[in-house]
Amino acid sequence: MKYTTIVKTSLAMLWLGFSAPVVLAQTVGQPLPAWQEGELDIHHINTGMGNSAFMILPDGTTLLVDAGALDPTEARTQSARNTKAKPSAERQPGEWIARYIRKVSKTPVVDYALMTHFHDDHMGSPTSISKKSEQGKYVLAGITEVAEFVPVKKIIDRGWPDYAYPRVSKDTMVRNYRTFLDWQVKNKGLRVEGSVPGRNDQIVLLHNPQKYKGAFEVRNISANGEIWTGVGNVTRKHFPELKDLKPEQYPSENMCSIATRISYGKFDYFTGGDTPGVLQPGVPAWHDVETPVAKVVGPVDVHILDHHGNRDSQNDVLLGALRPRVLVIPVWSSDHPGHDVLDRIYSQRIYQGERDVFATDMLEANKLVIGELLNRLKSDSGHVVVRVANGGDSYRVFVLDDRDEDLKIKSIHGPYTSR
């Protein structure tokens, strides 16, 4: 049914004395209607400075996946190669993310924060202009800044408790993050856990789990090269033992990313951090992490591109296994996505059927290089919100204006039928 038909039908229902406020509120130019009990909201937040996705689960439990914050003082960040800060440079990304959360959540709290890996565009790095926390113990950047404005109850990352595999950087960013964790654990009751691949009980519904029992699941797929087999909670090691490798051959930070599948009824969503899948010349086959991950994830409805759609991601096996109907590209650089990646995404040879692709902030530099393929995007700027209907049988995509905090709808897509 066309959107205009839905509006006319709703008006007719109101005339007859029926109420349809939610449908009427979903209008281009109007603010996004509030989340309702039973819906699953996935907000891909565009700050122009890295990845962040805030989710409101069916019973109101909240999940934040990453809170990126690049250094706005760096020459590259200020260049035409990088996106501009959204909505503005008046505040830093962590504060913008927190303000967004407070805007869309009825109870502004982050029940779970999942840090996919230790890179600044996913967790935030201290800069020369970063503020100190209220008690002065650590610097506010990314996730540490989010927690200054919105309570964070539990953090899951790939390194806790020793941050040793395969050799986690001890740079300023990681030191600051660990200082933040220590202080929050001792003073705010924060809980921290290492992601355990195969488990489906690290992130669970907290408010009304029985109502959605058997219908909702967050499954840990992989972390640190340990990958779920698809059977029970059984996993297998994908990387060689470190004792068999030289330090310069150790898995990269991206290769160790946490990958997660979120399921609600018939609906499935996959997020994999910066998981790579396209082999560089001369490297061993185990550098491809996407392929073994894809084989256990299976078909999904929505997929946020691995590694921002960079050239080493979205290999044929991943796309052919996931077959996503909707793909989201989190853009902050002129090489997001690669031209060859877009070719694969749209290829009917890899998998057949329609697909809608949304980018959070496509740069002019990228448009000049890629050309006509980008005309196929459903949106090239804005927050991308996936709203899954009560029960998970269908979903819509809302693109929101990211130039201010009004969260006005730019476009509406769907409804799509979940698989």
Token digits of residue 338: 């690669």
DSSP code for 397: E
- In tens, the pLDDT along 259-276 reads 999 999 999 999 999 999
Convert the pLDDT of each residue in 135-170 to its tens digit.
999 999 999 999 999 999 999 999 999 999 999 988
Q: What are phi and psi of 52, to 5 degrees?
A: -165, 130
Per-residue pLDDT tens over the stretch 39-96 = 999 999 999 999 999 999 999 999 999 999 999 999 999 999 999 999 999 999 999 9
- Give the amino acid at 316: D
Residues 276-300, mean pLDDT to the nearest whole number: 97
| Band (25; pLDDT cuts 50, 70, 90) | low
Q: Which helix (H) or strand (E) segment is 237 a member of?
A: strand 235-237
Q: How many helices (H) and strands (E) does the chain have?
A: 11, 17
Domain 37-417: CATH superfamily, name plus number: Ribonuclease Z/Hydroxyacylglutathione hydrolase-like (3.60.15.10)
Residue 22, pLDDT > 90, answer no
Banded pLDDT at 13 (limits 50, 70, 90): very low
- Tell me if 61 sits within 8 A of 209, measured CB to CB: no
**For residue 408, which of 32, 3, 25 has the smallest C-alpha distance?**
32
Q: What are phi and psi of 42, to 5 degrees?
A: -125, 105
Task: Tell me how far apart the alpha carbons of residues 219 and 202 are, in angstroms, rounded to a whole number.
Answer: 8
Give domain limits for the chain. 37-417
> What size, in residues, is the chain?
419
